[in-house]
Homo-oligomer: A and B are copies of this chain.
């Protein structure tokens, strides 16, 4: 679909220049230098030829159909140049020129015009404000990055052009091969999801490595990445992780969820592997491109020195993997084959004077051990070491079945070994910890591929009741949905709520109490009062008509005094909840990924210990259960320390239902059920208090 961009037969370079200081000159030079074999058409009304190619005032004058147009003209000429290229048949546009969305509102408007123009012609655009792209398969360097990497299995997608140049420079220095390198710039048309789809179909690409600062359409990204991930691993370095969006956080959920939590949840669901820093982006991609996936996380270490073996074992444990325990037969065989002072137990220490054969013996042994899923081979260059020969021997010994990663430590002495590894697709690292991090991600990816299919169950519900409540709030311009209406909405979704009703007078309140039965709870109803209990707006355990009457009058008296401007709608009177453990269920909306659910134990667990877990809607039952398990206080729910176990099924179900409600009604911006009272298995768990916030009404804009 993006053939015009990746494999054009003819490229027009708008703004091709004779001046070697201009980017328009550089881009054309790189296309020539890279060895692109298609037709190149420089466009520049002021030149007759550029770099020995005939130059044309426009594509039409060149009388040749154009597949791809690269625009390096000044910002104000971009639109006209693009139109001309499209008229000449271009289906792909790369706008290298900057000066659009990144410069402010006016630039953003000009950018929208470009996108619309492309859509009108059925063409696709990369950029603007990008570095261009490189395809090593057809030797096309359509970028202003000077270097052409070797062909390889890793494709890179970067939101930062500068990072592309750094990556290229590094890849060229280390001889690491790339398939495609794409700078997506402002992503006015083609974005990360489009690139994933295109690279999924690229036979050269085995691994997709991305640098991203933002993801525009979160749900599409999840959907595409999940699909692409089935065949090819996607590794992402996400920048901008710590600056949580400065959103008004009116709910618990909103204040506890940093922006990065949604990205983390999205990546996990879609099987996207997250790199923690720039270097590990390549450490991980390299391992995935070169080696098979491990079947489990039991790692064997072969080393010619104790210290680095310990370092590797530490790293394996720290990454939550297992230092493999060798089967006794294999360990015995190793003990017989290695010198007596060697360690035949994992980490296997083949000693400082180890010749290549001793590595081969050990590697063969662990490759044949059913208790080993992957191997890290370490060498430190000692007096007797033969790094290059050892590398060759390891390369020849590795089998297809299990991943082997090398950590040859040092510099000059191990350089020839590094070259051997690179040439033979065995990933090699300067320190064992880096190999171990790569293995961790390989394990994660393997586990993700093995995951059971996601099944999101849905309850049948009656939308109308909820639509009416929202409609009523919209009419009065209120975005806060108070307890009474929030409970009605939740009841529609089959949540248990205590029987109750809004009472406008003390007499009403007594009538409600008589109807639902004593004891009752009473809570002030006011759109202006959020923290009811702080102002004496909550009374519980009222046992008689007179207590109800007293409570109602006192509440009005006090609240009128404390907040004379607050509108009091009455008091909500309801049956008391059966006793149980207090938990909080919440929902907030991430700007990219939509509804995100929160779970935590009530009281100090959320407020002091910040012990909460998150995941994105829609939730499967397994994901809801994982949210419960994801809190440190989970043991209490299961029944630790003499506490009774609570109904975990009911709790997971409640999260799933809330997830459905959030998905069904995008008008609801935030929800908190706080507390949700959960009892022992089989008991009725119940919503004790709840509130919701609607999105700002956007219909006035429509």
Interface residues, chain A, with chain B CB atoms under 8 Å away: 23, 26, 98-99, 102-103, 144-147, 158-163, 165-174, 211, 213, 237, 239-243, 277-279, 304-308, 310-311, 313-315, 317-318, 341, 352, 380-383, 409-415, 430-434, 603-604, 607-611, 632-633, 635-636, 640-641
Q: Could you tell me if B608 and A609 are in contact, using CB atoms closer than 8 angstroms? A: no
Q: Could you tell me if A213 and B310 are in contact, using CB atoms closer than 8 angstroms? A: yes
Inside 8 A of A243's CB, which chain B residues have their CB? 313-314, 317
What is the CB-to-nearest-CB distance from A161 to chain B, in angstroms, rounded to a whole number? 7
What is the CB-to-nearest-CB distance from A363 to chain B, in angstroms, rounded to a whole number? 19
What is the CB-to-nearest-CB distance from A540 to chain B, in angstroms, rounded to a whole number? 16
Given A308-B166, A380-B163, A382-B162, is A641 in contact with B172 using a C-beta cutoff of 8 Å? Answer: no
Contact with A278, one of B170, B317, B431 (Cβ below 8 angstroms) = B431
Inside 8 A of A636's CB, which chain B residues have their CB? 604, 608
What is the CB-to-nearest-CB distance from A633 to chain B, in angstroms, rounded to a whole number? 6
Q: Could you tell me if A161 and B409 are in contact, using CB atoms closer than 8 angstroms? A: no
Q: Could you tell me if B608 and A640 are in contact, using CB atoms closer than 8 angstroms? A: yes
What is the CB-to-nearest-CB distance from A139 to chain B, in angstroms, rounded to a whole number? 19
What is the CB-to-nearest-CB distance from A312 to chain B, in angstroms, rounded to a whole number? 9
Separation of A249 and B101 alpha carbons in the complex (Å): 62
Contact with A411, one of B169, B311, B380 (Cβ below 8 angstroms) = B169
What is the CB-to-nearest-CB distance from A31 to chain B, in angstroms, rounded to a whole number? 14
Separation of A658 and B92 alpha carbons in the complex (Å): 75
Separation of A555 and B611 alpha carbons in the complex (Å): 40
Separation of A306 and B212 alpha carbons in the complex (Å): 12
Q: Could you tell me if A169 and B242 are in contact, using CB atoms closer than 8 angstroms? A: no
Given A430-B279, A641-B607, is A170 in contact with B409 using a C-beta cutoff of 8 Å? Answer: yes
Inside 8 A of A611's CB, which chain B residues have their CB? 609
Inside 8 A of A314's CB, which chain B residues have their CB? 239-243
What is the CB-to-nearest-CB distance from A33 to chain B, in angstroms, rounded to a whole number? 13
Of the A-B pairs whose beta carbons lie under 8 Å apart in the complex, a sample of 19, sorted by A's number, is A144-B382, A146-B383, A161-B305, A161-B352, A162-B307, A163-B380, A165-B382, A165-B410, A166-B380, A166-B381, A170-B411, A173-B412, A239-B314, A241-B314, A242-B313, A242-B314, A279-B433, A604-B636, A609-B633
Per CB-CB distance, the 10 closest pairs between chain A and chain B, nearest first, are A173-B411, A160-B307, A162-B305, A169-B410, A166-B409, A242-B317, A162-B380, A278-B431, A239-B310, A170-B411
Contact with A162, one of B167, B352, B415, B632 (Cβ below 8 angstroms) = B352
Given A278-B432, A307-B211, is A632 in contact with B609 using a C-beta cutoff of 8 Å? Answer: yes
Contact with A213, one of B103, B307, B380, B635 (Cβ below 8 angstroms) = B307
Separation of A247 and B395 alpha carbons in the complex (Å): 42
Separation of A171 and B608 alpha carbons in the complex (Å): 48
